[in-house]
C-alpha cells in the first residue's frame, strides 16, 4: 500500500505540474496561478492540531507547506481549477518518502452569479499510507458593493469526508467564516479571518460530540515584493497569527483547547 500511495503522490504532483505547463500557451487573461511555500508553527485541519503543537509557538512540531495551483476562466462566470499541496517535516517517519508527510491534490469549479459564488471541489489527501477523500461545497458573498471598506466577505463551506484514512469515520463539518480586510498602507494589506466549525457527526475528529467544535480569529498581513519585476510574476510575503479555541469532546486529540498559531510565507502569482 505504501508503495502505491507513493506512486500516486508522484503521479498527482506530475499531473498538476503538467496542467500548469500546458496552460502557458493560453491567453494570459484566462489563466492564473499561484506557487508558494510557508513555515508554520502548527498544522491545523478542521480544528485538529495534527502534529500536537499545542501551546508551543514555532516549537519542534513546526512544519513547512508548499503549494501550486492553476485556474482557468472558462467563461465570464465559470472558472475551473486544480492544484497540489504538501506538508513537509520530520515529525514522524513518512509513508511517502523522506520528509514528505502529505500530498493533497484537488480539482474543482466555481460559478459566480452577480455577487454570489458557488463552488465544488474534489480532494484526495495522501498521508500515513492511505488516502482520505473529500468533497467541498462552498458558498460565498461579495458584500463590498453594500458595505464598502467594511465588507465582511462571508462564506460557508460544507466539508464532506467521503472516505476516511485508516480508522477515520465518514462525516462532515460546516465552516462559517468572514474575512474583512483593509489597507494598512498603499501596498500593505491586512485581513481578519474568523470563523466557526460545526461538526455534523459526533466522531468526525474522533470525539463523542457533534455541534460546535472549534472557532478561530486572527490577522494576516500581506506585503508585496515590488522590487521583483512583474515579468517574473507578482511576489509577496504573508505573516499570519491565528488563535484557535476547540471543544475537547469534539476534538479530544488536541493537547490544548486554546492555542496560537503562526505562519510566514512567500508566494508568486501569475
Residue 24's pLDDT is: 46
Cα(171)–Cα(48) distance, integer angstroms: 15
Cα(127)–Cα(247) distance, integer angstroms: 25
Task: Quote the pTM value.
Answer: 0.89
Within a domain: 133? yes
Residue 29's pLDDT is: 82
Tell me the pLDDT of the chain averaged across its residues.
Answer: 92
Within a domain: 57? no
* Tally of domains within the chain: 1
Within a domain: 53? no
Q: What is the pLDDT of residues 73-121, one digit of tens each?
A: 999 999 999 999 999 999 999 999 999 999 999 999 999 999 999 999 9
Domain that holds residue 241: 2-46+62-269
Within a domain: 192? yes
Cα(142)–Cα(154) distance, integer angstroms: 7
Within a domain: 145? yes
Within a domain: 229? yes
Residue 162: pLDDT band by 50, 70, 90 thresholds?
Answer: very high
Residue with cell 491586512: 190
* Grid cell at residue 167: 480508522
Within a domain: 182? yes
Nearest of 148, 240, 226 to residue 187 by alpha carbon: 226
Within a domain: 54? no
The CA-atom distances, in angstroms, between 82 and each of 36, 63, 106 are 15, 23, 5
Cα(17)–Cα(71) distance, integer angstroms: 13
The CATH code of the domain that includes 154 is 2.40.160.40
DSSP for 134-197? EEEEEEEE--HHHHGGG----EEEEEEEEE-STTPPPEEEEEEEE--EEESSSS-EEE--EEEE
Amino acid at each position: 500500500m505504501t508503495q502505491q500511495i507513493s506512486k500516486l503522490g508522484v503521479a498527482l504532483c506530475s499531473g498538476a505540474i503538467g496542467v500548469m505547463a500546458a496552460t502557458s500557451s493560453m491567453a494570459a487573461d484566462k489563466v492564473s496561478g499561484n506557487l508558494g511555500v510557508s513555515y508554520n508553527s502548527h498544522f491545523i485541519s478542521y480544528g485538529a492540531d495534527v502534529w500536537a503543537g499545542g501551546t508551543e509557538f514555532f516549537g519542534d512540531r513546526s512544519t513547512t507547506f508548499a503549494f501550486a495551483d492553476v485556474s482557468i476562466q472558462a467563461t465570464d462566470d465559470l472558472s475551473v481549477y486544480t492544484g497540489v499541496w504538501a506538508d513537509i517535516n520530520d515529525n514522524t517517519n513518512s509513508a511517502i518518502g523522506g520528509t514528505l508527510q502529505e500530498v493533497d491534490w484537488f480539482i474543482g469549479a466555481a460559478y459566480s452569479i452577480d455577487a454570489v459564488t458557488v463552488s465544488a471541489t474534489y480532494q484526495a489527501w495522501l498521508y500515513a499510507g492511505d488516502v482520505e477523500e473529500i468533497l467541498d461545497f462552498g458558498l460565498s458573498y461579495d458584500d463590498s458593493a453594500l458595505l464598502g471598506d467594511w465588507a465582511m466577505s462571508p462564506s460557508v463551506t460544507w466539508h464532506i469526508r467521503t472516505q476516511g484514512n485508516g480508522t477515520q469515520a465518514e462525516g462532515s463539518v460546516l465552516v462559517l467564516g468572514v474575512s474583512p480586510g483593509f489597507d494598512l498602507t498603499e501596498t500593505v494589506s491586512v485581513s481578519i479571518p474568523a470563523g466557526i466549525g460545526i461538526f455534523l457527526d459526533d466522531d468526525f475528529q474522533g470525539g463523542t460530540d457533534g455541534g460546535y467544535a472549534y472557532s478561530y480569529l486572527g490577522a494576516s498581513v500581506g506585503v508585496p515584493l515590488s522590487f521583483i519585476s512583474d515579468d517574473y510574476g507578482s511576489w509577496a510575503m504573508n505573516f499570519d497569527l491565528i488563535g484557535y479555541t476547540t471543544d475537547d469532546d469534539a476534538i479530544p486529540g488536541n493537547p490544548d483547547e486554546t492555542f496560537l498559531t503562526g505562519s510566514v510565507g512567500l508566494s508568486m502569482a501569475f
